[in-house]
Amino acid sequence: MRRALLIAALLGLTGAAQVAAPAAEAPVTLHLSREPGLSAGVRAALRGLPGDVETVVLVQDLRTRAVLEARQPDRALIPASTTKLVTAAAVLDERGGAGGWWSAELTVPAAQVGRAAVKAVTLRGSGDPTLSVADGAYSLRALARQAYARGLREVGEVRVDDLAFDSAAWEVPLGAPMTALRLAAWHDDPPVSAQAARERLGDRKRTRL
């Protein structure tokens, strides 16, 4: 009797194991898809490149993710400068333009805020290449007008702060220092060093606004 019960129990466990067995996984189908290739216009443009220039192309619809044109899209190459410019232009357009990306600031020491005459102010830059001395709304003159509107009439010294980033680190790849405080007028004749840039800006004593 005990033997019969043991056999029945074993059969019951075997049946339970069979019921609990996981279902077979659904088959997976893999597809090979061809790259869409290049349009006639793109092929014509690429034919005009020098023979030693290597190119890869990937044009993709950002909404549907559909690949519209491609040539070796997975091949890694160092981006050309024109690619960097197009990328930067696209980012600026997406973010609403260059406004706010760069700025120039004029800081008055907290203890002297509200006075008509102060001992010193600090002119701080952030690498804006369009900053001018007197032209337009983005100029040192416009900054001085803001200070005048707040009641400032006389400044003992203008201090220059160009430490927003390390100018020496940019000197090797660019061939010239990229100072945080620079003027648009320097475009054709950039200073040869950060110190030369500071000397061009000069020190103004007893400046009247």
Supply the pLDDT for residue 185. 84
Structure tokens at 79: 């981006």
81-108 pLDDT, tens digit per residue, is 777 788 877 776 776 655 555 677 888 8
Supply the pLDDT for residue 14. 47
Supply the pLDDT for residue 100. 56
106-161 pLDDT, tens digit per residue, is 888 877 888 888 888 888 887 777 788 887 777 888 888 888 888 888 888 888 88
In the chain, what percentage of residues exceed pLDDT 70?
A: 70
Q: What angle do CA 4, 7, 8 make, to 5 degrees?
A: 85
Helices of type H across 95-137: none
Residues whose CB is less than 8 angstroms from the CB of residue 133 and which lie 6 or more positions away in sequence, other chains included? 139, 140, 141, 183, 185
Supply the pLDDT for residue 91. 72
What residues does each domain of the chain span? Answer: 40-94, 105-208
Q: H/E element holding 13?
A: helix 2-20
Structure tokens at 7: 């056999």
Cα maximum dimension of the chain: 116
Overall average pLDDT of the 68-80 stretch: 85
Count of CB atoms situated within 10 Å of the CB of 160: 17
